Amino acid sequence: MKERWVTRLQSLTRRTRKRLGERVLREPFQLSSATGYRTVGAVWRPREGRARSAVVLCPGTNDAAAVFEGWSQPLNAPEIASHGVLAVVFDPAGRGGSWGPEDYGGLEHQDQLRVVVEYVRANYRPEVLGVVAISLGLAMACGGVVRHGLPVDWVLDWEGPSDREIITAGGSIMEPALGHGLDDEHYWQPREPVRHVGQLPCPYIRVQAERDHAQPGELRHAHRMIEAASEGKLPWFQLNEHRRNELPASVRWYPSGRLAANRTLMTWMERLT
């Protein structure tokens, strides 16, 4: 029985890919960051017509652009493009085809986001351009938009860690620290989204399920990000389906799981683009 369901799911995935492939095009690009590192990526676009909106997808821990071209993540670039929106993906330094060492959302990754946003603005001229951060991709998204004053219309955060405590699960997962201690301010300051969210020049949306994808018992990061946003000067912020600029006493969390996350995020894509 289990084998039949697996075979059926794989067949459905192949059929879905074929249908999407008939409706979208993939246009690769190669850019250079300020340090001279090669940054590679691609723009997925509708095969017919001009897309008026675009989203840049920032991948999570250790992931490259390819993660958005499969089905392991809550968002899929060809699926987004099939709905008439440019889906822009790239390999952060240390991953995929891009040069340089792993940076876990630090200054290099933030600069790569800059060159990608500038490339999309100059070559595709979308009327609306947003940034979607998946998990730890929030470090490069939030820090990059603030540090470089990027001309984006919104930042959507899917369950991103807020600070060094959450990023390292209280010091138990030290891979993203790259050998630095939790007391190393120079290392952590650029990588903690909670420090930057209040300085965003655009709206901020936090999407959070009751069971976090990375740390199932953790929800403090969602509270910390929304509280920091409420203390800043950004145009507006929103947590899940609560009202804009609301700090809810009792949070209505989204359903958990990848498929539920896909439905939630695609709904937000429709609203924002």
Average pLDDT over residues 174-201: 98
Residue 11: per-residue pLDDT: 52
Six-digit token pair at 43? 């723009």
Nearest to 25 by CA among 76, 75, 87, 72: 87
Residue with tokens 């590192």: 37
pLDDT band at 49; cut points 50, 70, 90: confident
- Residue boundaries of the structural domains of the chain: 25-272
Q: Is the pLDDT of residue 5 over 90?
A: no
Q: State the average pLDDT for the chain.
A: 94
Residue 1: per-residue pLDDT: 45
Q: Which fold has domain 25-272?
A: Rossmann fold (3.40.50)
Mind listing the pLDDT tens digit for each residue in 76-85? 999 999 999 9
- What DSSP letter does each residue of the chain carry, written as one string? -HHHHHHHHHHHHHHHHHHHHTTEEEEEEEEE-TT--EEEEEEEEESSS--SEEEEEE--TT--GGGGGSSSSS--HHHHHHTTEEEEEE--TTSTT--S---TTSHHHHHHHHHHHHHHHHHH--SEEEEEEETTHHHHHHHHHHHHT---SEEEEES---SHHHHTTTTT--GGGTT--TT-HHHHGGG-HHHHGGG-SS-EEEE-BSS-SSSTT--HHHHHHHHHHHTS-SS-EEETTSPTT---SS--PBPPSHHHHHHHHHHHHHHH-
- Find the largest Cα–Cα distance for the chain: 55
Q: Is the pLDDT of residue 2 over 50?
A: no
Mind listing the pLDDT tens digit for each residue in 229-259? 999 999 999 999 999 999 999 999 999 999 9
- pTM for this prediction: 0.92
Mind listing the pLDDT tens digit for each residue in 94-152? 999 999 999 999 999 999 999 999 999 999 999 999 999 999 999 999 999 999 999 99
Mind listing the pLDDT tens digit for each residue in 84-106? 999 999 999 999 999 999 999 99
Q: Is residue 146 packed enough to be buried (19+ CB in 10 Å), middle (13-18) or exposed (0-12)?
A: buried
Q: Is the pLDDT of residue 6 over 50?
A: no
Q: Is the pLDDT of residue 12 over 60?
A: no
Average pLDDT over residues 63-79: 96
Q: Is the pLDDT of residue 220 over 80?
A: yes
Report the 10 Å Cβ neighbour count for 144: 30
